Amino acid sequence: MDIYIYEMLLNSRIGIYLSYCFRHMSVQGAKFIGAGIATVSLAGSGIGIGIVFSSLITAVARNPSLAKQLFVYTILGFALTEAIALFGLMVGFLILFGF
């Protein structure tokens, strides 16, 4: 399947340009591009953390008696969302310094 996609790209005009770019790209440049793409997860994590805490504020405003229980769930959601960001950051560092 990958060979078919590669041949299809080579036969198109964009594929000819990409093929030229990939042949003349340095390894260090490819590492920088890969690390930049890997760290896009940091933006998603920031959005996720904002959603988690905005949901906490909304839930506490609706039912203040559940504030302690909701805060525990919020911290769990924060930790899981932050773990995704750390995985993305780790992949970015592995691409830059590991290979």
Question: What would the pLDDT profile of 54-97 be if each residue is shown by its tens digit?
Answer: 999 999 999 999 999 999 999 999 999 999 999 999 998 998 88
pLDDT at 54: 95
Domains of the chain: 26-97 (1.20.20.10)
- DSSP character string of 6-47: HHHHHHSHHHHHHHHHHHH--HHHHHHHHHHHHTTHHHHHHH
pLDDT at 3: 61
The pTM of this model reads 0.65
Question: What would the pLDDT profile of 21-63 be if each residue is shown by its tens digit?
Answer: 666 667 788 888 888 888 888 888 999 999 999 999 999 999 9
52 contacts: CB under 8 Å, gap ≥ 6: 74, 77, 78, 81
Q: Which residue reads 């932050």 in tokens?
A: 82
